[in-house]
Amino acid sequence: MPETKILLPESEIPTHWYNVVADMPNPPAPVLGPDGKPIGPEALAAIFPMNIIEQEVSSERWIPIPDEVREIYRLWRPSPLFRAHRLEQMLGTPAKIYYKYEGVSPAGSHKVNTAVPQAFYNREAGIKRLTTETGAGQWGSSIALAGQMFGLEVRVYMVKVSYEQKPFRRSMMHTWGAEVLPSPSPLTEAGRQILAAHPDSPGSLGIAISEAVEEAATRSDTNYSLGSVLNHVLLHQTVIGLEAKKQFELVGDYPDMVFAPCGGGSNFGGVAFPFLADKASGKAVRLVAVEPTSCPTLTRGHYAYDFGDSAGLTPLMKMYTLGHDFVPPGIHAGGLRYHGDSTLVSQLYHEGLVEAQAVAQLATFEAGLTFARAEGIIPAPESNHGIAACIEEALRCKESGESKTLFFNLSGHGHFDMAAYDRYFAHELEDYDYPSEAIEEALHHLPKVG
C-alpha cells in the first residue's frame, strides 16, 4: 500500500510565500477611506509595521520568508500530507482522497503560520506589545504562541461569551504568557461605551476588534494583529499550498479538486492560491471555498464595498458581504462566522477562478464524525466544512465511477471544541435557513461609495 503520510524534510519548508496578486487577471480593487477615495499604505502605519504594510500592497509574485520565521516553522512544518486510505475504503469511493494536516502546530491550527511572521515583523520594527481579538480562540492562541517565541507581550480581547464558555483556550493563551481580557472591557473607550449602554453585553468579534485596534492606535509601543481577511495574512498561509504541491509531486499525483473552509479566507487562500497559479499553465484544478449555509457570504452575499468590522471603523473593502451589521447564527464553526470575506478571494470568485459551496451545520458534523472514525483525527468544526464537501464529491465519484483526486485542508484539530460535538451527539444542534428577504435587506445597509 502506498504511504499514508507524505513527508518533506525541513529543508523543503518554502523559502518564499506566493503572492497571488501577481497572477490575478485584474489588480485587486483598491481599499477606500471614509471619503470613498483610495487610501495609501501610510493610513495603516498606526497599527501595522511597515514590512507588513508593504506585503499588504505588494504585487511581487514571491516574497522571501525570513530565516527567523522559518526557524520557528520548523517546530511543526512541513506539515504532513495524508492519503486517506481508510476514509476511501469506508466510503467505497474510487476517488483518491488526500488531506494536509495543519493541526500539528502547537496551537492546533493553520493560524500560527501567519502569527509567527506577524510577531517577527513587529519585533523587527521595535514594537513591544501586540493586541488582537479572538472569538473561538484559535487565533488568540496562535498569536500568544508567536508573541512568546519573539519576546512580545500579547493582550487578547476575547469575546466575553467565549471567555466564559471556552476557558481552556484561555488557559492555552496563559500557558504561552499572553494576557486575556473579556471584551467589552473597561480598558478602552469602545469597551466603556458598550458597557455603559449594556452592562451585561456578551461581546462580539466587532466590539473586540474595536478595542484591540483602539489600544494599538493609541500606544506607540503597541501594534495590532489580525488573523484573516487581509492580503498579508493570506500570503503567509500559502506555505500550506506550496508544501502540498511538492508533496503531490513526490507521489506523482495532482488534485482535480481542492476544498477548504472559508470564513475570512486565509485557510482557503493559503491552500488554494498556489494551485491557482497552475491554472494559467493549463491545469484543470478546481478550487472550492466551503462556507456555512448560516453565513453564506460568497454563495449568497453581495459583491460590494463594505466595512471589515461591525462598528464601521475600518477602511472600506470590496468583498462579498452579508452587510457589516449582520450577526450570523451561533453555529459552532466560530471561525466561519464573518459577514464578509477576503477581498482577494472575493475578486477571484467574482471572476470565476475559484468556486464556492455552502454546507449546513449538521452535515458538517456528520462528515467530521465519519472522518474521525476512519482516520482517527477529530477535526475542528471549521475544518468539517471542507471535509463535508470533499466527502460529497467522493460519493458522487462512487456514483459515476470516476477516480478523481480530491484534496482538502484539515486546518485544525477539535480538541478544544468537544462541547460542540457533545451538542451534536445530544441532537441539540440545528441547521439555519437564511431567508432571502434578509439578503435583500442587507443591500440597504451597505455604505454608499462614490
Q: Which residues bind its own copies (CB under 8 A)?
A: 1, 3-5, 7, 9-10, 71, 74-76, 86, 104-108, 145, 148-149, 167-168, 171-172, 174-177, 369, 372-373, 375-378, 415-416, 418-419, 421-422, 425
Structural contact between residues 283 and 248, judged by C-beta atoms closer than 8 angstroms: no
Residue 253 CB, shortest distance to its own copies, in Å, is: 17
Q: Give the C-alpha separation, 141 to 175, whole Å.
A: 9
Q: Which residue has the cell 471549521?
A: 382
What is the spatial distance between Cα 137 and Cα 224, in angstroms, rounded to a whole number?
A: 16
Q: H or E stretch including 91?
A: helix 85-91
Nearer to its own copies, 20 or 104 (CB): 104
Nearer to its own copies, 76 or 303 (CB): 76
Strands (E), 177-300: 179-183, 222-224, 257-261, 286-292
Closer by beta carbon to its own copies, 82 or else 349? 82
Under DSSP, is residue 183 helix (H, G, I), strand (E, B) or coil?
A: strand
In the bound complex, what is the minimum distance in angstroms from residue 337's beta carbon to its own copies?
22
Q: How many CB atoms lie within 10 A of CB 282?
A: 6
Residue 207 Cβ vs its own copies, minimum distance, rounded to whole Å = 25
Q: Where are the alpha helices (DSSP H) in 376-414?
A: 383-400
> Which CB sits closer to its own copies, 422 or 433?
422
Least distance from its own copies to the Cβ atom of residue 144, Å? 10
State how far the Cα of 365 lies from the Cα of 358, in Å rounded to an integer. Answer: 14
3-state secondary structure of 393: helix
Angular region, 167: left φ>0, alpha ψ -120 to 50, beta rest: alpha
Q: How far is the CB of 382 from its own copies (least distance, A)?
A: 17
Shortest Å, Cβ 363 to its own copies: 17
CA distances from 104 to 337, 377, 413 (A): 24, 11, 8
3-class SS at 156? strand
Contact 285, 257 (CB under 8 A): yes
Residue with smaller CB distance to its own copies, 83 or 160: 83
Q: Shortest distance, CB of residue 185 to its own copies, whole angstroms?
A: 20
DSSP state of 177: T
- For residue 290, which of 416, 376, 379 has the smallest C-alpha distance? 379
| Residue 108 or 328 with smaller CB distance to its own copies | 108
Smallest separation (angstroms) from its own copies to the CB of 31 = 34
Nearer to its own copies, 306 or 375 (CB): 375
Closer to its own copies at the Cβ: 169 or 339? 169
Q: Cβ closer to its own copies: 147 or 301? A: 147
The HSE-up count of residue 399 (CA atoms within 13 Å, CB side) is 6
For every residue of 94-155, DSSP letters joined together read SSEEEEEEGGGSTTSBTTHHHHHHHHHHHHHTT--EEEEEESSSHHHHHHHHHHHHTT-EEE
Minimum distance of its own copies from residue 74's CB (angstroms): 4
Closer CB to its own copies, 15 or 171, in the complex: 171
Using DSSP, state whether 378 is helix, strand or coil: coil
